Amino acid sequence: MTRPAPVPYDSELLAALEEFVGLVEIIPLRADTISVNRTHFATIIPPIEQQVAGRDVDWEDRTIPGPAGAPEIDITIVRPRSAGPGAPAVLSIHGGGMVLGTRFFGTAEIIDLAERHGTVGVAVEYRLAPEHPGPAQAEDCYAALEWMAAHATEIGIDPDRIIASGASAGGGLSAAVALMARDRDGPALAGQLLGYPMLDDRNDTVSARQYDGIGAWDRHSNDTAWNAIAGADRFTDRVSPYTAPARATDLSDLPPAFIEVGAAETFRDEAVRYASGIWAAGGRAELHVWAGGFHGFGGLAPDATVSCAAHDARESWLRRVLHT
């Protein structure tokens, strides 16, 4: 099948896209390169000590109970130094296709949010595929949410103002946690922030085909990750919505969603479809599709005009949902 013509990239983003591919995706992600990619990722994620240097935050590591029958979970808590009791909170879920990365791949966000919004952030070290097929990743993240709610007074947060937030795989897992919390009558999330979310194991949209072999996190990388996550269940009805939230047939009664995605990336169409499903069920979703944006553009080119607009939209939603 001929690849559909891709949406052009914003010219302000081209240098950042080239840098991203050269730094992060220098080793193509395939089944036999997951291990070497993990080793490479470890060299490009700054240690937490470096991330917090000069910032007005405190941090600590803890180990908390995992899901029933599963190992304990390491978390990192980031607090603003000025935090009092009852602060808003963020469950931070890192990206990396559910096969790569550590919780420190997402801590930069919760450091920023602590300074700007006074939030307490909890970054969760979830299990990775293929060693741990889905939905192990979402189960770990949901266990961390339950722990946050149960220990709200101890860690100084308002249990009614917790959001789940993540980018890429972290965005998909944030959606999965929201589904779990609804289905299990668990902690009521105030919102779900889904950045460039990885939602659908089928990888069959027009935008996936447009970015087949080009761009950041192209269709091939996405296939590799989903094969590792879903294994033989992939493409079948055995794939749980907690593994791939696009498989959910009921998107009603979910917390408010903020969904952002680039127009020039693999995940564009599945993100639009997910927002449409929430609206069709009478739910609340705010969708932003940014012209010319590649996967993760906002963090890679923060000073570009489109990135500044994306940042402002996200900040507006956070203020409204967290009441900061």
| Length of the chain as a residue count | 324
The predicted structure's pLDDT at residue 1: 65
CB of 113 closer than 8 Å to CB of 314? no
Residues 6+ apart with CB under 8 A from 20: 216, 294, 296, 300
Smallest Cα–Cα separation from 269: which of 320, 198, 216, 215? 198
Pairing of strands 157-167, 73-80: unpaired
Q: Tell me the whole-structure pTM to 2 decimals.
A: 0.97
Residue 149 has pLDDT above 70, yes or no: yes
Residue ranges of the domains in the chain?
Answer: 11-322
The band of 166, judged by pLDDT with boundaries at 50, 70 and 90, is: very high
Whether the bond between 135 and the residue before it is cis, its omega within 30 degrees of 0, is yes
Residue 320: C-alpha distances to residues 101, 117, 166 (Å): 31, 11, 18
Q: What's the mean pLDDT in 305-316?
A: 98
Span 190-225, pLDDT tens digits: 999 999 999 999 999 999 999 999 999 999 999 999
Q: Is 184 helix (H, G, I), strand (E, B) or coil?
A: coil
Span 265-300, pLDDT tens digits: 999 999 999 999 999 999 999 999 999 999 999 999
CB of 199 closer than 8 Å to CB of 226? no
Quote the tokens at residue 167: 């980018």
Say which CATH topology domain 11-322 has: Rossmann fold (3.40.50)
The band of 82, judged by pLDDT with boundaries at 50, 70 and 90, is: confident
